[in-house]
Chains A and B, each alone.
Chain A
Amino acid sequence: MTARSPDKQTGSGPGSGDAVSAVGDPQDVLLSAVLLAIDSLALGGAWVRARPGPVLDRWLSVFRECLPPETPVRRLPVHVGDDRLIGGLDLAATLRSGRPQVERGLLAQIDGGVLVAPMAERMTAGTASRLSSVLDTGIVAAEREGISARWPARVAVVALDEGRDDDEAVPAMLLQRLALAVDLAGVSIADLNRIADEGDLAAMAQAARLRLRDVAVGDDAVEALCAIGAALGVPSLGLAGLAVRVARAHAALAGRAEVADQDVSVAVGLVYAQRATQLPGDPADPPDSEPDPPQPDPPQDDAQKPDDATERTEPETAADRLIEAALAALPPNLLEQLAASAARQRSGANTGRRGEGGLSRRRGRPVGSVPGDPRRGDRLNLADTLRTAAPWQRLRGRDGDRVLVRPEDFRVARYRHRTESVTVFVVDASGSAALNRLAEAKGAVELLLAECYVRRDRVALLGFRGTAAELLLPPTRSLVRAKRSLAGLPGGGGTPLASGLDMAAAMALAIRREERTPSLVVLTDGRANVNRDGEGGRAQAMEDALDAARRIAGAGVSALVLDTSPRPRPEAAEIAGAMRATYLPLPQADAATVSRAVIAARGDGARRQG
C-alpha cells in the first residue's frame, strides 16, 4: 500500500487494483496461470501485479509448463520501437542483397505465442495501442519504411505491473483486453510451491484444452457475468466476454461439460475483483449492509430501471443465484476497501486514468529526417542516410563491402518543433481559501483550463488542504477530466502551503525529465499554517513555504501566484517573490488578465529543438 497521507486509509488509486484484491491466495494465483495457459489466445492475457522475485518466477514457470509444448514465449523490451515490434526494413540484408529485405517484428514472430511485458506500467500508449490492435484482430499490419505487409499475429500478453503508486499504471486500453487480473503481493513462495507441486498441472491443462471446445456456456452464466461486471463498476463488455471464457476454461479444467456456478465465481474473482470500482448495488449504501443482489444497471441509469424491473422476471432466479454465489466468493475486505476509496472515485479520478500518459511524444523526439549536413551540428540519422544511399549503390558502381555514401545522402534527424508545455495548477483549498472565494478561484482555473485547451497544453491539478497535498489530476489534455477533478475538490482545513509547493516542484521536475516545459499556477492566499510535517504553527509553516518557494525558483520553473485573498496580503506576495513568480492579486484580475499572465509566465514554449 502506498499510503500518501495520514488522513487516508489507502493511497491506492481507484482502478489501480490496490483497493480490491484477492491478495495472497496462492490457489487463485496458480489457477490464473493454469487457466491462461489453457486458452491463452482467447483470453488475451493477464495483468499480473508483481515485483520481480521467486513468486513471479514460479507463476511464469507454471504458466509456461502448462502452455502447449513449443509455444513461443518472448519478453517485450520495455521501450520497444516500432521497428522491433511491428517490423521494418532489414538494412543490413537490404544492402547485402541489393533488394529490400523485410524483417518481421516481434508480434509476427511469436504468432500463436505469448508476449511477456515486464514493467508494463512504463509502457507508452503507443505501444499499448499497437498491442491492443493485435489482440483485437490477430493481425499485425506494417506500413513503414517502404514496406506494406500484414502478418498473422495471434498472441496473448502477460503484462507485469510493478507500479508502486498512482503515477504509474498499465495503459487502460491494454488492460481491457487481458482477461485475468491477479496480484501476487503477499503470496508466500512456500505455499505456492507446495500447491504447484501437488499435481501435474501441465497434464491437467492439456486435458482441459482438449475438453474446452465441448464445454457449453448457459445463458444464465453469461447473464450473471454481465450483471456482475456492471454491478462492480466494470462496464466493459469486452471484459464480460473474457470472463465468460475464463469460466469456460475453468469448467474444462474441472472436467465439467457445462459452465457451473463455481466457474462463474472463479471468473468473477480472477477477472473482476481487481478492477471493481464500485460496490454491488447502490454505491450510496452503507458498506456494512448485506451486499444486495446487484442492480443490473449502473446506478446512474435511472431511465432503464423501470422497464427492466418488469421485464426481468423469468430468468432472474437462476442468474441471481449465480450472482450471489459469485459475490460471496469475492474477498471479504472488498467492501470496506472500496468504501475507503469511494470518495476518491466519486471525484471521477478513476476514469481513463493514465490513458493519456503515453500520448505524449517526448520533446525532442525525432519525427523523421530531412536532408541536411551533419557537420553543421545536426544529428546524423544513420539508418535513414543508409536507406537513402541504398538504392543508388548499383548505379554508383559499388563493388565489395563498402557502402558508397555521398553528401547528398545525409539525413539529419528532425525533432518535434514545438515544446509541449504542462501547466500545473496548485490550488489552495484550505479553510481560509474556501472562505476567500474558493469558488471564484475555481472559476479562474476553469478559464485558464480553457486557455490551455486552446493552446493544446497539458494541464495537471494539485490541491492542498488539511495536512497534505494531493495529486488530483496527472498531466492530461482532457479538459473534461480536468474540470471534473476541479469540481470535486472539497474545501476546508489548514493551509499546508509548503507541502503543496513541494509536490508542485517535484512534479515540475518530473515534467521536465519528460522533456516538456512545466509552469506552475499557484492559487493561494499565502496564509500557510501547516508545516511540512503536517503540524500547525504559522511561523514554521511560513518558513517551510518560503523554503519550498525558493526551491522552485532555484529550479528555474516559471510560476504565477494568484492571490486569492479578498484584500491582497503581503504573505502571498512574499511567497511569489521567493518563487520568482509573477504575482497577481485576483481582485484586479479579470479573466483576460489572468490568462495573459499565465501565457507570460509560461514563457516561450515553442522553442526549437536541435
Chain B
Amino acid sequence: MVSVYPFSAIVGQEEMRLGLTLASIDPSIGGVLILGDRGTGKSTAVRALAHLLPTMKVVRSCRFNCDPSAPVQECLSGCGLSGTSGASKSDTVPIPVVDLPLGATEDRVVGALDLEIALSRGEKRFEPGLLARAHRGFLYIDEVNLLEDHLVDLLLDVAASGENVVEREGLSVRHPARFVLVGSGNPEEGELRPQLLDRFGLSVEVSTPTNIRDRVEVVRRREAFERDRDGFLATWASKEAALRRKIVRARKALGSVEVGEQVLEKAAEICLALGTDGLRGELILVRAARALAALEGKSSVANTHLRRVAPTALRHRLRRDPLDDVGATSRVERALDACFAT
C-alpha cells in the first residue's frame, strides 16, 4: 500500500475539507464536486479521505458489496438466498473509495464477461466492474470534465437510478450501485454539463493559496512527507484519528439531529430567493446542514449551519446565465445576506 498524504495535514482549503467531511458523514448528500486550479490538492484530499472513513459490513465473498442486514435477493453472488437476513456471514471492510482512472473502458466500468472463466471453462459469467466495487462507497473521478461523453452518460444514469443494468456480450445483469460521486476538475479545461453538475450534492471551490505563509507551509509539509513518509504519518496520526472519531460520532448522531420547522422554512426561502431548479437543492441544503450540526455535536440544526453550507450546496444549481459576470458564489452570498438580514 502506497502511503497517502494525511487529510488533516492539508493546508487551508476549508471548504473542500468540510464538503468531503460532510459527504462522508451523510452519503445521501450525494457527492462532492471539487473545482479549481491544478496543484491545489484536490486528488490528494480525496485519496486521503479513504483513510478517514469508517468501516462497513458486507456479506462475505459478495462481489457486489451487499449489506448483510439487507442482502439483495437477486444478487448474483447469491447473498439474499443464503437464508434470512442477518444470517449471512459478514466481513468488516473499509468503505471503498474507487478511483475511475482516465482511459477506463466501458466494460470495466459497468462490468463484462469474465474472460478468464469464459476462456478456461467456456462459461458465461459476469465480472463486476468499478460500479459494483464502488457500491455503498465513493466513486472518484479525477479530471471529471475530461471524461468521455459516453462514460459520463452512463454514470449519470447509474447515479440517478442506483442500479447498474448491463446488457452486453450476451449477458443480462442488474445489480445495485449506489455510490457517492466525487469529481474534481479545472473549469478552465472544459465545462461540465448541467446534468452532471446536478448529480453532485455539494460543489466546492479550491484555489491556490495566495497567502505566503500558507504557500510556504504547503510546500514544506509536502516536502517533509516526500522525504520521510512514515515519520510524517506518525506526526499526524493523532490528528487523523481524532478526525476519524469525529466523523464516526457524527454518523451515529446524524439520525437524532433535529431539523426544526423554522430551519426548513429558511431553507425554502433561500432556495426560492435563488430560483434553484427543483427541490433537490433544498433537500441537499438541509441534509448538509444536518451533517454539519452532527459534526459539531449539536442536537439540532441552526440557521448558522444553513448559512455555512448554503454556498456549497447551491452554487452549482443556479439557473445558468452564462453571461452573468457575477459568479455563482457571489449570487448565493447576496441571496444569503438578504435572507439572513431579517
Chain A residues within 8 Å of B, Cβ to Cβ: 42, 82, 85-86, 89, 94, 98-100, 125-126, 129-130, 133, 136-139, 141-148, 172-173, 176, 213, 217, 219, 222-223, 225-227, 230, 235-241, 244-245, 296-298, 301, 304, 308, 311-312, 351-352, 355-356, 359, 361, 367-368, 388, 390-395, 416, 446-447, 449-450, 453-454, 456, 477-481, 483
Supposing A143-B100, A359-B190, A478-B191 touch, asked if A236 and B216 sit within 8 A by C-beta, the answer is no
In Å, the complex CA distance between A223 and B130 comes to 42
A-B contact pairs, 14 of them (CB 8 A): A42-B226, A144-B104, A144-B105, A146-B115, A227-B215, A235-B210, A237-B219, A238-B39, A245-B223, A359-B145, A392-B118, A393-B119, A449-B322, A478-B190
Contact: B219 with A222, CB < 8 Å?
yes
Q: Which of the residues A98, A176, A312 comes within 8 Å of B120, measured between beta carbons?
A: A98
Contact: A355 with B108, CB < 8 Å?
no
Give the distance to chain B from A446, nearest Cβ to Cβ, in Å: 5
Q: Does B222 interact with chain A (Cβ within 8 Å)?
A: yes
Contact: B119 with A100, CB < 8 Å?
yes
Nearest 4 A/B pairs, CB to CB: A391-B118, A352-B188, A238-B39, A296-B212
Contact: A244 with B112, CB < 8 Å?
no
Q: Which of the residues B43, B107, B145 comes within 8 Å of A146, measured between beta carbons?
A: B107
Q: Which of the residues B107, B119, B193 comes within 8 Å of A94, measured between beta carbons?
A: B119
Which chain A residues border B99 with CB–CB below 8 Å? 141
Contact: A356 with B115, CB < 8 Å?
no
Supposing A146-B107, A148-B108, A239-B39 touch, asked if A138 and B211 sit within 8 A by C-beta, the answer is no
In Å, the complex CA distance between A393 and B118 comes to 10
Q: Which residue of A lies closest to B151 (CB)?
A: A367
Q: Which residue of A lies closest to B127 (CB)?
A: A146
Q: Does B233 interact with chain A (Cβ within 8 Å)?
A: no
Give the distance to chain B from A449, nearest Cβ to Cβ, in Å: 7
Which chain B residues border A173 with CB–CB below 8 Å? 38, 186, 189
Which chain B residues border A143 with CB–CB below 8 Å? 100-101, 103-105, 108-109, 129-130
Count A-B pairs with CB separation below 8 Å.
192
Contact: B189 with A356, CB < 8 Å?
yes
Q: Which of the residues A133, A147, A227, A308 comes within 8 Å of B142, measured between beta carbons?
A: A133
Which chain A residues border B109 with CB–CB below 8 Å? 143
Contact: A359 with B146, CB < 8 Å?
yes
Contact: A238 with B38, CB < 8 Å?
yes
Contact: A477 with B322, CB < 8 Å?
no
Q: Is the interface on chain B under 10, 10 to 19, 20 to 34, or 35 or more residues?
A: 35 or more
Give the distance to chain A from B116, nearest Cβ to Cβ, in Å: 5
Contact: A481 with B188, CB < 8 Å?
yes
Q: Does B160 interact with chain A (Cβ within 8 Å)?
A: no
Contact: A480 with B212, CB < 8 Å?
no
In Å, the complex CA distance between A176 and B189 comes to 14
In Å, the complex CA distance between A141 and B215 comes to 31
Q: A100-B119, A235-B208 are in contact. List 14 more A-B contacts (CB 8 A).
A: A42-B226, A145-B108, A146-B112, A146-B113, A227-B212, A237-B209, A237-B218, A241-B218, A245-B223, A368-B105, A394-B122, A449-B323, A479-B322, A483-B323
Which chain B residues border A136 with CB–CB below 8 Å? 43
In Å, the complex CA distance between A447 and B321 comes to 11
Which chain B residues border A449 with CB–CB below 8 Å? 322-323
Which chain B residues border A393 with CB–CB below 8 Å? 119
Supposing A146-B108, A237-B209, A351-B188 touch, asked if A391 and B122 sit within 8 A by C-beta, the answer is yes
In Å, the complex CA distance between A136 and B219 comes to 15
Q: Does B87 interact with chain A (Cβ within 8 Å)?
A: no
Q: Which residue of B lies closest to A391 (CB)?
A: B118
Contact: B115 with A129, CB < 8 Å?
no
Give the distance to chain B from A122, nearest Cβ to Cβ, in Å: 18
Which chain A residues border B116 with CB–CB below 8 Å? 99-100
Supposing A94-B119, A137-B2, A219-B220 touch, asked if A356 and B190 sit within 8 A by C-beta, the answer is yes
Contact: B103 with A308, CB < 8 Å?
no
Which chain A residues border B227 with CB–CB below 8 Å? 213
In Å, the complex CA distance between A298 and B189 comes to 22
In Å, the complex CA distance between A236 and B209 comes to 9
Which chain B residues border A245 with CB–CB below 8 Å? 223
In Å, the complex CA distance between A91 and B39 comes to 38
Which chain B residues border A351 with CB–CB below 8 Å? 188
Give the distance to chain B from A277, nearest Cβ to Cβ, in Å: 14
Q: Does B143 interact with chain A (Cβ within 8 Å)?
A: yes
Contact: B148 with A237, CB < 8 Å?
no
Contact: B215 with A138, CB < 8 Å?
no
Q: Which residue of B lies closest to A359 (CB)?
A: B190
Contact: B322 with A368, CB < 8 Å?
no
Q: Which B residues from 209 to 241 make CB contacts under 8 A with A? A: 209-213, 215-216, 218-220, 222-223, 226-227
Contact: B146 with A125, CB < 8 Å?
yes
Which chain B residues border A100 with CB–CB below 8 Å? 115-116, 119
Q: Does B102 interact with chain A (Cβ within 8 Å)?
A: yes
Contact: B113 with A125, CB < 8 Å?
no
Contact: B169 with A388, CB < 8 Å?
yes
In Å, the complex CA distance between A446 and B223 comes to 45
Q: Which residue of B lies closest to A105 (CB)?
A: B103
Contact: B323 with A230, CB < 8 Å?
no
In Å, the complex CA distance between A126 and B148 comes to 10
Which chain A residues border B226 with CB–CB below 8 Å? 42
Among B100, B122, B188, residue most surrounded by chain A Cβ atoms (within 10 Å)? B188
In Å, the complex CA distance between A297 and B213 comes to 10
Which chain B residues border A139 with CB–CB below 8 Å? 2
Q: Which residue of B lies closest to A139 (CB)?
A: B2
Among B108, B116, B186, B215, residue most surrounded by chain A Cβ atoms (within 10 Å)? B215
Which chain B residues border A311 with CB–CB below 8 Å? 213
Give the distance to chain A from B297, nearest Cβ to Cβ, in Å: 31
Contact: B219 with A82, CB < 8 Å?
no
Which chain B residues border A241 with CB–CB below 8 Å? 218-219, 222-223
Contact: B212 with A230, CB < 8 Å?
yes
Q: Which of the residues A99, A176, A238, A479 comes within 8 Å of B119, measured between beta carbons?
A: A99
